[in-house]
Structure 1
Amino acid sequence: MKNEDALIAMAREARARAHAPYSNFLVGCAVESTDGRIAVGANMENACYRLGVCAEQSALTAAQQAFGLENVARIAIVGGHRSDTEGGNGAITPCGGCRQAIAEAAQLAKSNTRIICCDAAGEDRLHTDISTLLPNAFILE
C-alpha cells in the first residue's frame, strides 16, 4: 500500500483536473486496491446539474475497470473551492450518494473501507470509515 501522503497527492493531482466551471468546487479522489494499485477521478460538472459526476463516483468507476470494487482498500478525497490553495479550510466528506456507492464497494470488498477526507491542500485530514459516515447503509444482500 502507498503511504497516506502519496495517496493524497494522487487525489490532489486528480482535483487539479476537475471540471467545475459552475460551482468552482474542485474535488479529486484516489481509490487504492488491496495490492496497491490506484484509480483516480475528479468531479465533472455539466450545465444540466444533475448530469454532473462526483469525484468519488468517477474514481470508483475507474477502480472497477482497473482492479474491481471487491479489491478496494482505502479512499482519499480532497476538495475545496478553486481559490483554496492552502490548508486550513476543513476536510470535505463525500455526499450521501457517494457514501452509498462507497458502502456498496465496501460490501463487495467485505471490509469497512477506510476513508481519508481532506481539504484542498491535503493538510486538514479526517480519518474515518464508511460505516461511520453511513451507518445502517441500504445494502441489498
Structure 2
Amino acid sequence: MDVYAVTGLRKPEIVEHISKYSDLDEPAKELIQSAIAVQKNAYVQYSNFHVGAAFRTKDDRIFTGCNVENASFTPTSCAERTALTKAVSEGYNEFVAGAVVAYQEDAFTTPCGVCRQFIMEFAENDIPLYITKSKVGGTKSNDDLVLSTSIYNLLPHGFRTFKAKNC
C-alpha cells in the first residue's frame, strides 16, 4: 500500500533540479527579476543579508517582498512572508509559483522552516519555487544556476498535507 494514500500526504509534482537561468521559461525569469528588484529594499541593519521574494497569483499578479529585520530578531519578517502577506492583504491567496533570491557564495538560500510552512498554507497544490543567487543590485546572466524546486519538495510533511483520506 502506498504510504501517501494511507497518510493523506501528497507526492511532489515537480522534480527538483538545477538548471541555467537561460533554460527557464519567461514567467520564471520574470519572477526572479521581480525578486531581484525588491531585494535592494531589504532592511538588514543587523545581518546585512538581503533577500528578495516574488510570488505569482493564480490570476498572474506578482507580489514582492524583502526581509525586514528588527533588533530583537523575533519580529523579523522574511522576504517570502512579506510578499505573501502583501498579496493576502490585497485579497489574493492562491499562488502558482514563487522565487527567492539571496547571496551565499557556496549555497542556494531556500526559505526557512517558518516560511516553508507559511507558503504551504497557500499551496493547495504543489507550486514551483525558483531559488537563485543574486548580490544586491545584481543581474542574472544566462549561465547563472537556478534551483528549481517546489513547496512539497521543501516541506514534504507540511500541515496542509495532513488531511486524512477515507480508507
Match of 2:43 among 19, 35, 52: 19
- Displacement of 1:89: 4.3
Q: CA RMSD in A?
A: 1.9
1:137 partner letter: G
- Displacement of 1:138: 1.8
Which residue of structure 1 lines up, in the alignment, with residue 118 of structure 2?
Answer: 101
Q: What TM-score do you get using the length of structure 2 for normalisation?
A: 0.72
Which residue of structure 1 lines up, in the alignment, with residue 126 of structure 2?
Answer: 112
Aligned length: 131
Q: Relative to total residues, which structure has the larger helix share, 1 or 2?
A: 1
Q: What TM-score do you get using the length of structure 1 for normalisation?
A: 0.84
Which residue of structure 2 lines up, in the alignment, with residue 32 of structure 1?
Answer: 56
Which residue of structure 2 lines up, in the alignment, with residue 72 of structure 1?
Answer: 95
Select the structure with the greater relative contact order (CA < 8 A; seq sep ≥ 6).
Answer: 2
1:100 partner letter: Q
Identity %: 34
Query: What is the CA–CA distance in structure 2 between the aligned matches of 1:67 and 1:77, rounded to whole Å?
Result: 22
Query: What is the CA–CA distance in structure 2 between the aligned matches of 1:89 and 1:16, rounded to whole Å?
Result: 21
Q: Confirm whether residue 134 of structure 1 aligns to residue 155 of structure 2.
A: yes
Which sections of structure 1, spanning at least 5 residues, go unmatched? 82-87
Query: What is the CA–CA distance in structure 2 between the aligned matches of 1:4 and 1:103, rounded to whole Å?
Result: 19
Moved more, 1-10 or 37-46: 1-10
